[in-house]
Amino acid sequence: MTNASIQAVWRLFAGLFLVLALRQFYVQVVAAPQIAARPYNPRLRLLEAYRGRILAADGSVLAQTVGGKRTYPMGPALAQTVGYLSSRYGAAGLEAAFDNALQPADTNGDPAAQLAQIGAAFAGRQAVSHGADVVTTLDPAIETALASELGDHARGAGVVLDARSGAVLAIASVPTFDPNDFDRIFPTLRDDPSSPLLNRAIDGLYPPGSTWKIFTASAALDSGTVAMDATFDDPGYFQIGDYVVHDNEGEATGTQDLTGAFALSSNVDFAQIALKVGADQWEAYARRWGIGDSFDFQLPAERDRMPGTNELYPGILAQLAFGQASLLVPPLRVALLGATIAGNGSEPRPFIVREVVGAGGTTTTAPATLAQPISAETAENVKKMMVAVVERGTGTPAALPNVTVAGKTGTATNPGVAHSWFVCFAPADAPRIVVAVIVENGGYGADVAAPIARSVMRVALGRVKS
């Protein structure tokens, strides 16, 4: 072998050694914290006994480790939201989002610190510090009511907010599963076409149907395009080029002012209103509401989908007026529509974790605002229209005795039977609670979603006092 050949072989081996060294450096130094923090890291199984708890607002336990096993006392009611922790399949929900806080203190995902704690615990030299407790805003009684009402249906979701702060009081998604038996049932859950692992309340995307008339009315009033005393004529259809807008099941509302058109949920009237608003103002108000933006929520949530600027020709704009075309939103967005009207035009930032309490102190979540998309005057006028929906319009099944409820029905067209929607808040004069409900393929919003919202609202008002 010539000197040149020997040098070539040497350079090859030197290059391979350098690649291996760089890879080892990356794994042990650069990527080590992320690798160590992965929920399916076997080391973490040994530390589970010292993992912090997840608690409801009243201190009741939503997740804790008992006898070396992670347990979930509310079971299926909060499965997607509280989530699961599995050494085989990873973590989800709050278990994943707050994993670093829940892990035993002083490890912070650092592999050396984790090994030191494990070694010290096994050697009996010192006790392992417990992870922090994650305290949520969830109310078990409201959660039980929401999960129970939705449990009568095959697929659906709901969100209950504190109207004054944006705190999530309850959140549910069906179908669901029992996280206490997660490892055994995961293969079945994964292959289930009804997607029980999906948190429909924040990750499901749906056409909002006529609940979106809250947005349309707000944009029209706030921009000065339409006044409260404006009148509209609905003969049952409205033609835009080759496209014809119809009301639900061939209804015709006749001549109505804006409140009447809203209360009776006239698609024909609202299609005309959207065309008056125009594509430019429509997009401007979508930006003001943050449609398509992050919710800045403490759990991952799907963003809204709305047609792009080049798609907003008249036929599409008319359909957007009543929540159709290619508009898709999660139930959390519909809840925030209601919360913004309840909050005098201020859109709250939703949050589900109130505080994290650990050995190093307490970190608290302060209520905050996402946007101020409309004026207080506009919000007050839309509130009056939402009250009319429940008092004399499509939402009368949501009425409660001795409480003024403001609401809006939605019947969202999609392949198959329409989705049933309802969003409401109460008491209308001093809102405390916002409820948004969807039942997939449930049909008319007043028939299915509104009664669910009424039942949940009754429980929530009894729990959250002024």
Q: Domain for residue 73, yes or no?
A: no
Q: Domain for residue 393, yes or no?
A: yes
Q: How many domains does the chain have?
A: 1
Q: Domain for residue 412, yes or no?
A: yes
Enumerate residue ranges in the chain where pLDDT < 50.
27, 29, 32, 35, 37, 39, 125
Give me the pLDDT at residue 109, please. 52
Q: Domain for residue 115, yes or no?
A: no
Q: Domain for residue 28, yes or no?
A: no
CATH number, domain of 275, equals 3.40.710.10
Q: Domain for residue 329, yes or no?
A: yes
Q: Domain for residue 384, yes or no?
A: yes
Give me the pLDDT at residue 15, please. 67
The range of the structural domain enclosing residue 220 comes to 141-181+190-358+369-463
Give CA–CA dist 268/212, Å, rounded.
14
Phi and psi (nearest 5°) for 214?
-60, -45
Query: How do residues 167-224 score in pLDDT, each as one tens digit?
Result: 999 999 999 999 999 999 999 999 999 999 999 999 999 999 999 999 999 999 999 9
Output the CA–CA distances (angstroms, integers) from residue 403 to 4, 159, 230, in the order listed. 92, 20, 29
Give me the pLDDT at residue 117, please. 60
Give me the pLDDT at residue 135, please. 98
Query: How do residues 273-312 score in pLDDT, each as one tens digit?
Result: 999 999 999 999 999 999 999 999 999 999 999 999 899 9
Q: What is the pTM (predicted TM-score) of this model?
A: 0.88
Phi and psi (nearest 5°) for 220?
-65, -45
Give me the pLDDT at residue 23, please. 66
Give me the pLDDT at residue 41, please. 55
Give me the pLDDT at residue 27, please. 47
Q: Domain for residue 458, yes or no?
A: yes
Give me the pLDDT at residue 329, please. 98
384 class by beta-carbon count within 10 Å (0-12 exposed, 13-18 middle, 19+ buried): middle
